[in-house]
Chain A
């Protein structure tokens, strides 16, 4: 990030010394209305949320960009079925299909809205297998620390993330603690230890005793999900808005007149009960 800022510094100095910046006359801010979709396919089926893009600088009024008149279809091994608007979602552009996709199966989305068409492909990864999971109190440090350690075997070209939920009743009023609270660490086969396993280790400080239960949940994700979130980065971090000097586009598995991401996911969990 610092190296990027050095580039920025050099550019700024050059511009200050010899450049001239001015507001462009006679050229409108570009706007191309496009579809935005984010979809997820898991054990319970596939759901999608559709929006439209807004003009640059346009205020977003809660659900105003959501689209309720999208023609959406998914293709699975038995054919193509329509994905209906989920009215239980309050007509907020939420669409749900009850068609179930097994791990390893591919889903293809087709959507059309006012002549704009998009497609997206995703695949539900193989279900991750939690090989081992244990938890113990480490009283060698003060205050006592709860240590949770798990392992699972990653498959080639799959992407994983995991979290550990601690369910407790006696400690305080908190029902459960998820560590890490918001995880953006994604693990791949490259992250495996020499024994071919990914080792997850988390510590929870100030644990007086073992909780009621501890759950480790491992999610496998379509890599498109990772690519999308990694590529979006922080639009302001380069100093310049991304444009001529720092242009870019998201890596998205959505093709056509839209942007977003559709991803398949599977999960597995293992629970340790202490009381």
Chain B
């Protein structure tokens, strides 16, 4: 779609502006600046900014992740600069008059108050978008309005309803994007990678919904800025904290309680801090034996401090700490244990505008994931039966430059240097007093990456992206080049064709048992005996808008090949410590499919329908007799229906319905013994891996949000009904023995489950 029609098709929402200067002389100059939220002062990404002269639209662009926009080579004249937020609200204009100053910087402050009624729910890769990078953006309003488990809004829930995104079950909920495993997703929280993005084995994500500003999912590693993972990029941006006033929010669900505080520190600085904790363990003494019962809880904390000493500089300090803890009291005389795992991450980022056409982003990032276990069977003797600690930590220094060569061309480049530390220790029957004397095994490695990416628009109908990423991993043991190519072509104002082809590599492999991720799973770094995974992905899509952009239809097809995937050997010895390559086998994978998304974003009634037809296969020479088999998360058909209805100012209703073909699983088809077997011992015969299918999965979740004020504080009550028609969705089927007689057992998770939660802002 041409830019002009695109802009006019967007119901204008928001508003403008503080004009710092306005001027153009006979010399051609640049027009740049930032767009921020007028309420909180936070930078806004993805906002369309355009400027007009008397004849109409001159040019348009969008703000980057840091709210920055720029137009170069602007002729002197009188212009109106407009920032477009989201649909359904008006936009005001500001005039810019010519002067002798060639470069003009305009900081725009948008009001989002009117967004709430009819905001766009899935903003990007929309039919009006010529950008070749397709990113599904999820806004916090959507996250909080969809049905959830326990009344706890979660970032992953709306993502799981997108085409091409699947989960193993509602509990074991790592994201499988286009036939890939969860460890192949690059998860970034404010640019900091998190290895374990979920709590409690996938029940909830680690992202506190109160602090999330935006979520973007790219179903491929297309942008050359990103690397290290092969399947997808999930970027979660958190709020920066209000620059206007001290405030916050609090929430209580049937799972957890949470609190967020934000506010200005000085005129140029703000903070935000948030915490969340599962409180189920605190109730254990009420309902069960406090000493004997195992307890579980998790918590996560976010903090962010931003300081903008000038319009050209911004410093952002971000920190995250999250932990899951499973424990039994030390007072228990039998066996007690203390198992915990979690992420830690922190970053210091400096954003600098060298000029209106040159933008720098420099960061120091620390990120780690650790898992530790301590089991004591004789607590009074002070001996540990089993002790293991493992952690994987990265310290990264990155520098990125974004240069606007012209309105139609952008050049991005950067470098990353990472120091990795992988530590593991495991002791059996070690006295606690001796623990400090035994050094853990530690491996260090240095990794480096360079990337360069050129983005261009031609004739307002063709957009291209050409990128290359060069990786050096494990002290130079591996060197890989990753080309990233994408293009978008407008066939008419409302029809676009897009294509992309990428190669990506992954150097850190999560080796799971049967595709279900647990905290105990091992991260395996590429090294002498473990080659990097390599994925090639080709995508073609066609997008069309209907009814003046009320409805968008996106049809995509993809084909992926994967090399050097790792899985456990059959019945490998699982030991703690840095994993031995001898325990793993190497294989290949293939995934292909088609995705259809029909979306309505405007009006009181909004939502989408997503359908995916897909195949996901794996081939390991040493598994399944070398024959290809379907991955556990292979689903032939997968469908999601998401609806939201704004019934009134107080009531908002929502519902999601999902259907997917049954997941593959394995069952023994008989038993046998060997002549040398121990007496009476038999072995199970598994003719093939994943050669059976569980019953199809479908589920309806309903939600309602009621808004009201109390003492001038806005409250929201979230009422959810999980599994409304009480479908017994089988997540596992296996053989169990009851009095030596085999029976087939099914395992189901959440039944019909009404829950309620409440939140307020202040």
Contacts and interface: CB of A to CB of B under 8 A. Distances in A.
B664 to A, nearest CB: 9
B191 to A, nearest CB: 30
B514 interface: yes
B734 A249 contact: no
Interface residues of B, number: 72
A128 to B, nearest CB: 22
A96 B339 CA distance: 55
B715 to A, nearest CB: 28
B333 interface: no
A21 interface: yes
Interface in A20-71: 20-24, 27-34, 36, 38, 49, 51, 53-58, 60, 65
A65 B737 CA distance: 22
A22 B742 contact: no
Contact of B570 (A23, A29, A231): A231
A31 B373 contact: no
Contacts of B666: 242-244, 247-249
B741 interface: yes
A29 B574 contact: no
A259 to B, nearest CB: 5
Contacts of A232: 571, 683
Contacts of A231: 569-571
The CB with the most chain A CB atoms within 10 A, among B373, B576, B670, B749, is that of: B670
Residue with the highest number of chain A CB atoms closer than 10 Å, among B665, B668, B675: B668
B747 interface: yes
Interface residues of A, number: 62
Contacts of B686: 242, 247-250
Contact of A65 (B516, B672, B744): B672
A24 B746 contact: yes
A243 B732 CA distance: 8
Interface stretch (A2-10, A133-141, A150-158): A2-10
Nearest to B741: A57
Given A3-B576, A24-B733, A246-B513, A235 B684 contact: yes
Nearest to A233: B571
Contacts of A60: 673, 682
B754 interface: no
B623 interface: yes
A65 B690 CA distance: 27
A35 B212 CA distance: 58
B310 interface: no
Given A19-B748, A20-B748, A20-B751, A248 B571 contact: yes
Given A10-B201, A243-B667, A248-B666, A1 B574 contact: yes
Contact of B294 (A13, A55, A244): A13
A245 interface: yes
B386 interface: yes
Nearest to A38: B674
B689 A249 contact: yes
Nearest to A3: B574
Contacts of A243: 665-668, 732-735
A20 B745 CA distance: 10
Interface string A179-222: 00000000000000000000000000000000000000000000
A59 to B, nearest CB: 10
Nearest to A49: B675
Nearest to B280: A17
A104 interface: no
Nearest to A6: B520
Contact of B670 (A22, A56, A234): A56
Contacts of B731: 244
A251 interface: yes
Given A30-B667, A244-B734, A3 B388 contact: yes
Interface in B363-416: 373, 375, 386, 388
Contacts of B672: 36, 51, 53-54, 65, 259
A267 interface: no
Contacts of B689: 247-249
A100 interface: no
A31 B669 contact: yes
Contacts of B683: 232, 235, 250
Contacts of B624: 249
Given A20-B749, A21-B745, A244 B732 contact: yes
Most chain A C-beta atoms within 10 Å of own C-beta, residue among B201, B623, B674: B674
A240 interface: yes
Contacts of A18: 171, 749-750
Nearest to B390: A3
A30 B668 contact: yes
A56 B733 contact: no
B92 interface: no
B665 A244 contact: yes
A11 B734 CA distance: 14
A27 B669 contact: no
Contacts of B734: 240-245
A233 B683 CA distance: 9
B124 to A, nearest CB: 34
Contacts of A54: 670-672, 682
B95 interface: no
B622 interface: yes
A2 B514 contact: no
B309 interface: no
A122 interface: no
Contacts of A58: 671
B432 interface: no
A32 B733 contact: no
A10 B683 CA distance: 26
B114 interface: no
A2 B691 CA distance: 29
A242 B622 CA distance: 18
